[in-house]
Chains A and B, each alone.
Chain A
Amino acid sequence: MSRPAHGRPEYHKINKDLFVLTYGALVAQLCKDYEKDEDVNKYLDKMGYGIGTRLVEDFLARSCVGRCHSYSEITDIIAQVAFKMYLGITPSVTCNNSSRNEFSLILDKNPLVEFVEELPAGRSSLCYCNLLCGIIRGALEMVHLAADVTFLQDRLKGDSVTEIGITFLKKLDEKKYRRKK
């Protein structure tokens, strides 16, 4: 559907409130449509996956990052380049295991929850920002990296920080790769 940009592309920013409020309206609508938190979380993850598979192309075109040689490099790029580019924040990265395939992104500031005081009543296991997990998972899959991405800690649930865990799984075989819907 998109037409390719002609000449020098302009990278537009939008009003942050518009984005944050739109996301909030989306989550509110999903809470109306689905009774269980798990269903809302799954839907957000699936949506994020769809966004991530497309966003990664935009990211690679604009950031001109070179080939990465380790999971740690990839996670650093996600935190320092991608998050910065799209959300204006830079989470810090920690490695969680010695085999160096489990990492955490610690979000000090999370613009998506700017207008959220607390989770709605009866929605204590809602992962409000689960879209982010889906986006990361979808983006990684498009570069042939399978990963599990989940929220390990969430300030909205009472934890002290918001932490996204990325576990890199076995590298997808490029020849057998099929794009999943």
Chain B
Amino acid sequence: MADEALFLLLHNEMVSGVYKSAEQGEVENGRCITKLENMGFRVGQGLIERFTKDTARFKDELDIMKFICKDFWTTVFKKQIDNLRTNHQGIYVLQDNKFRLLTQMSAGKQYLEHASKLTNFNIDVP
């Protein structure tokens, strides 16, 4: 097990590093978000490979989403997803009321913009 404080600081530095080294216009056209998503995608891929090594094949999309909300989220963030909604047409909304990557930030509105940068990292889970 590694310590959470170290990971949170690493994550913060990564996000601010990507934004600091962004060139003119990159922040606006979303290139920074793409970079973070790509890193998150890579991490998600690696994690899923390790976690599903011995699991049975998933029956359908809903099965996959249940796995992500329960097993995957618990292993990574030590809690389950609080709410899962779907329109049964391929769109799923996962709601986490106490997202670990953001709990260290204060609840004031001024940090809302920065908070969204932090969430982009882990969005892409295949």
Binding site for B on A (CB under 8 A): 1-3, 11-26, 28-29, 33, 43, 47, 50-51, 54-55, 58, 85-88, 111, 115, 131
Contact = CB atoms under 8 A, between A and B. Distances in A.
Contacts of B113: none
Contacts of B21: 33
B39 A16 contact: no
6 contacts: A14-B1, A15-B75, A16-B1, A16-B2, A23-B10, A29-B35
B104 interface: yes
B6 A2 contact: no
A115 B11 CA distance: 19
Given A13-B2, A18-B76, A85-B3, A50 B43 contact: no
A19 B78 contact: no
Contacts of A131: 10
B56 interface: no
B78 A12 contact: yes
B5 A86 contact: yes
Contacts, number: 105
Contacts of A28: 39, 42
How many B residues touch the partner, as a band?
20 to 34
Contacts of B114: 1
Given A21-B46, A50-B13, A55-B9, A86 B2 contact: yes
- Of B21, B39, B111, chain A has the most CB atoms within 10 Å of the CB of B39
B40 to A, nearest CB: 8
A55 B7 CA distance: 10
Contact of A88 (B1, B5, B75): B1
B46 A3 contact: no
B-side binding surface: helix, strand, loop or mixed?
helix
A28 B46 CA distance: 13
A22 B124 CA distance: 13
B39 to A, nearest CB: 4
B105 interface: yes
B106 interface: yes
A22 B5 contact: no
B106 A2 contact: yes
B65 interface: no
A14 B103 CA distance: 14
B38 interface: yes
B9 A14 contact: no
A51 B38 contact: no
Interface in B1-60: 1-7, 9-11, 13-14, 17, 21, 35, 38-40, 42-43, 46-47, 50
Contact of B104 (A3, A17, A19, A25): A3
A18 B3 CA distance: 11
Contacts of B38: 29
